[in-house]
Structure 1
Amino acid sequence: MTDNDSGDFHERIHQNFARQAALHSLGAELTRIERAMVEIELPFDVKLTQQHGILHAGVISAALDSACGFAAYSVIDAEASILTIEFKVNLLSPGRGDRFLFRGEITKPGSNIIVADGRGYAIGDGPAKLIASMTSTMMIIRGREGISG
């Protein structure tokens, strides 16, 4: 984590989430924010499925990427921003459930590059089921025109 004061990262994450039109189109909700960890949930919606009626891999990837990115916001300077530069997703089980939980956690903070790991869970009858994992690499952006915290 950077030694700089990250300010009120809760408020910055809420403001950035509010500007995420893609997440709103998915019905995503920001449900938990802690330093180095963020959770996003979304309800099942048939509009988010692929041809077999399970949650589309693109939706899973977008939600995990966002959870990891917002977790990164919690450990950077208040003036900085984040851009994902690489990620890998493992789809572990079909996305079937009433709701889905996506958790991003910082694995390796840095002054320029941050690595985060994400986990996606299907929630329904019974215990939550792990459906996907992600490893994400993000770049801290400072002073770039058009990109701000």
Structure 2
Amino acid sequence: MTDLPPADFRERITRSFGRQRAMGLIGAQLTRVEHGTVEIELPFDEKLTQQHGFLHAGVISAALDSACGYAAYTVIDADASILTIEFKVNLMSPGRGDWFLFRGEVTKPGSNIIVADGRAYSITDGPAKLIASMTGTMMVVRGRQDVAG
């Protein structure tokens, strides 16, 4: 990561997240935005489960992708944007809990390509439980009107 975060990245990410209808549809909330790290939280909802009652892998993947993408967004210039070009998810435990936390962290910043790692946790009465991890590759996009902020 660069030594200095881009100006106003928190405001830009908050505005962008508000326009992301997929995260709104599932009830996800942006809860932490720091230089190189973003967290998204999601309450359990039966409408987001698979046939066994666990949080669906697609929902987990989508939230991790957003957390990693926005983590990458914290280290780019204000006139650029981010698009995911690849990710891999490891599902390590069933998505069972009252709340879910998705944390994305920049692993390798770059001017064109950024790598971020994500972790998904289920939260109940006890300690948070790691349920999934992601490694994602993000492309920095500049000068495209259809992919702005």
Unpaired runs of 5+ residues, structure 1, are none
User: Tell me, what secondary structure is at the counterpart of 2:107?
Assistant: strand
For residues 1-149 of structure 1, the aligned pairs below 5 Å read: 1=1, 6-149=6-149
Number of residue pairs aligned between Structure 1 and Structure 2 = 149
CA distance in 1, matches of 2:3, 2:42: 33
Deviation per CA, 1:22-52: give whole Å up to 9, x if none: 0000100001110000000000000000000
- Percent of pairs with identical residues: 75
CA apart distance, 1:147: 0.8
TM norm structure 2: 0.97
The AA in structure 2 aligned to 1:122 is S
CA apart distance, 1:5: 6.2
CA apart distance, 1:4: 8.1
CA apart distance, 1:7: 1.5
The AA in structure 2 aligned to 1:37 is T
Deviation per CA, 1:75-104: give whole Å up to 9, x if none: 000000000000000000000000000000
User: Tell me, what secondary structure is at the counterpart of 1:33?
Assistant: strand
CA contact (8 A) 2:37 2:104 kept: yes
Unpaired runs of 5+ residues, structure 2, are none
CA contact (8 A) 1:2 1:77 kept: no
TM norm structure 1: 0.97
Moved over 6 A (4+): none
